Each structure stands twice: as C-alpha cells, then as structure tokens.
Amino acid sequence: MQRRLFLSQALTATAATYLLQNGSTARAQDPTDELIETADGVKLRGILYKAQNSKNGSCVMILHDPFTDPTKGDWDGLAKTLATGGYHVLRFDFRGTGKSKDIIPEKFWKDQLNATLPGASKATPKKTIEEKDYKSRNAYLPQLVYDISAARNHLDKLNDDGQVNTSSVYMIGAGDAATLGMMFLTTEWHREQKKPMGVLGIQKLIVNANQTIAAGSAPAGRDYGGCVWLSPKRMNGFNKSTIENWVANYGRDANGDMRKETPMLFVYGEKDPAGLSNSKFFNDEVMVASGGRGKLEKLDNTFLRPRAGTNLSGVGLLGKDDTLGTEKLILEFLNKMEELRRKKVRITRDYSEPLRINLASFGT
C-alpha cells in the first residue's frame, strides 16, 4: 500500500535543495531532435532531454495543449529543470502543430478516421496534416491518443537500448492534453508491459478495452508513477460520463486500479475560475480523490494545488523565474512519487512499433 504523502501549498523543499541533497553534480545533456512515427503514419517531431545523472532512469513525457502553439510558454525550461533533477524528458509536437506536419500518405490515408479529413479524396492525397484540418472535428480528436502512444513507444525502444527506464514514467500536460492523457493512460491498462508472443500475441497487437492481460503478465498502466495537469480541460467532444468511465470502469479490473495506482497533481491559477472548475472535475469527479462515492477510499497522493494570486493558465503557469513556484511544485511531486518506485527495474519491452488502438471500445 502506498505510503501516505502530503504536499503543502507552501513548498517544504526547493529544487535547488533537492539537487544539493541528491547530487550537486547533476547536469542535463544537450537536447536531441527525435523523429517519432505513429501507428497511423504521422511523423512527429520530438525533443529528448537526457539526464546525465539519473538514479533510476525514470522518464517524463510532456504533452502541450494540442490547440496551443507548442513553442509558446516555457516547456523547454521545465524540461531542463527536470533533466537536471534526474529525469529523462521527451517533448513532442502533436500532429498538425509545430514541426509535426509530415505524414506517410500510403499509411495515413488508409486509416478510417484519417480518411474523413480534407484532402483524402484527392487524386494525389496530401502529404501533410494541419491542426485546422481536425480542430473542430470532435469525432477525430481521440486519434491524437496515437501521438502519445507513439511517444511512449519511442521511450520503450530507448529503454530496450539501455538508455532509459520505462518502468517508471510520468506525464505532464496542459489544457486539453489532460483529456487525451487520461484516455491514453486508460488504454495502457489494456496493453501488456512486454510484447506478447505467439498467435495470441498477434491478436493483442490492437489495444481493446475488452482485452484482458495474460496470466503472469502485467499491464503497461503499472509503469506510470504519476501525472501533472496544468489547468486541465475537458476536451470538446468528450462528455463527462465518458471521462469518468475511463477511470471507474476501463482503468479498473483484476490487473490493477488506475485510480489508486496513478497519483495525480492538478495545478491551476487561483484567479482562474475555469482552471479551478476543470481541476475540480478531474480531481473530484474523475479521480474521486476525496473518496466517499460508492465507499471509495480517499486518495493520499492525488492533489489540487492553486498558484496564488494569478489568473494565468496552462503553460503560462511556468517560467518567469518560477515566481509562481510551479516548477518546484512539479519536481517535488515527482520526487515524492519516485521514492515509491526506486525498485522499479528496467525490463525489455520488445515493442518495435506503437500498437493500434480500438478507440471506440473506450467509449469515444
């Protein structure tokens, strides 16, 4: 059972103090450009920040708000802070944003949902995708979960090369990325940590909500040590009950319990009413962190934390010399969760490419 942990609104330890206590020689390496291919043929552009001194090889995936320019805000500063703190960090641009606009036409346009986008019926289909192609198409938005899945698969391949340890992964995102991140995390409870072999294994190369994990195996959902959501939003096209069911039903079975096993930190500006409302939705209604509903236990490691005196939201809560204390809050949360995962050793994953996901089976 997880040890009871508390985060005070006024931080008890700064990032600098942590580094002094845990190795002042820690330095982040220069970030490298990464090419990440999704299961449906999008070429995502990513940036990898390797931690030079990492105790456990743990990883962080950063998810920008898919409807916000990924170059805006201090994602780079946060990634460097976390890498200096001992975490390998992967950022990427969601499809159609930033530098992630190239596709593999012969693969992309064969996908049923991609075929609904502008350009699919042309004699020579487009070789690129733009955010404007799908932003207002609610039925298409779950497809962006493939981008997160591809980023995780990229880390798994680095894991198998001995560079990182995907037995301990964290996600940090802003705005609408919270909805996508929640859905993706749910699908990970229906995928095995290691690639299944044989005829049965071939059947399991499409992730399905009705799929069970083989006896003696463990779900990939158990790899996640926690999530941080900055001003989380409920994305258009996803109703409340759908999101609640991800955690209450699809993320809970004999293999584990996403609600109990994946701590979460919801951060918002104190003077941002929408940020407060949405954070409370995810904390109170989705995670049911306060317990009580259906005799659910209170969650000791899931928190709501306002940033005092500001109406800023999302990535805007970062930067400015960390005057809001957001980076320190995030690092403290990750460090606390990491204390519970020190014995999570690297295992070979064997997934050479990201899996297809039956998105409709998860209620979309």
pLDDT value at residue 115: 95
DSSP string computed for 5-48: ----SS-SS-HHHHHHHH-TT--BPPPEEEEEE-TTSEEEEEEE
Q: What is the pLDDT of residue 14?
A: 38
Structure confidence at residue 124 (pLDDT): 85
- Position 250 scores a pLDDT of 85
Q: What is the largest CA-CA distance in the chain?
A: 62
Question: How many angstroms separate the CA atoms of 36 and 34, rounded?
Answer: 6
Q: Which of 310, 338, 340, 341 is nearest to 326 (CA)?
A: 310
How far is Cα 231 from Cα 275, in angstroms, rounded to an integer?
5
For the chain, helix, strand, coil in percent to 5 are 35, 15, 50
Q: What Å distances lie between residue 124 and 117, 132, 154, 214, CA to CA?
A: 14, 20, 30, 44
- The whole-number pLDDT of residue 204 equals 60
Sorted by sequence, the CB contacts under 8 Å of residue 177 that are 6+ apart come out as 63, 64, 65, 66, 229
- What are the average pLDDT values for consecutive 10-residue runs of the chain, which has 364 residues? 40 38 52 98 98 92 97 97 97 98 96 92 88 96 98 98 97 98 96 78 75 85 97 96 93 81 97 98 97 89 97 96 96 96 92 95 93
SS3 251: coil
Strands (DSSP E) along the chain, which ranges?
A: 32-37, 42-49, 59-63, 88-92, 102-103, 169-174, 206-207, 224-230, 252-253, 256-257, 264-269, 303-307, 356-357
- The pLDDT of residue 196: 85
Identify the pLDDT of residue 7: 44
Specify the pLDDT at position 55: 86
Q: Provide the whole-model pTM.
A: 0.92
pLDDT of residue 254: 64
170 has which bridge partners? 60, 226
pLDDT score, position 17: 38
CATH superfamily of 15-362: Alpha/Beta hydrolase fold, catalytic domain (3.40.50.1820)
The rounded distance, in Å, linking the Cα atoms of 300 and 264 is: 10
CA dihedral (227, 155, 67, 33) in degrees, to 10, reads 130
Q: How far apart are CA 361 and CA 43, in angstroms?
A: 25
Phi (first) and psi of residue 33, to 5 degrees:
-75, 140
How many angstroms from the chain centroid is the CA of residue 359?
A: 17
Q: What is the dihedral of CA 360, 250, 150, 334, to 10 degrees?
A: 150
What is the β-pairing status of strands 88-92 and 42-49? antiparallel
- DSSP letter for 120, please: T
Rounded alpha-carbon distances, angstroms, from residue 194 to 85, 87, 224, 226, 353: 28, 22, 15, 20, 12
Query: What crossing angle do the helices spanning 75-84 and 326-338 adopt, rounded to 10°?
Result: 40
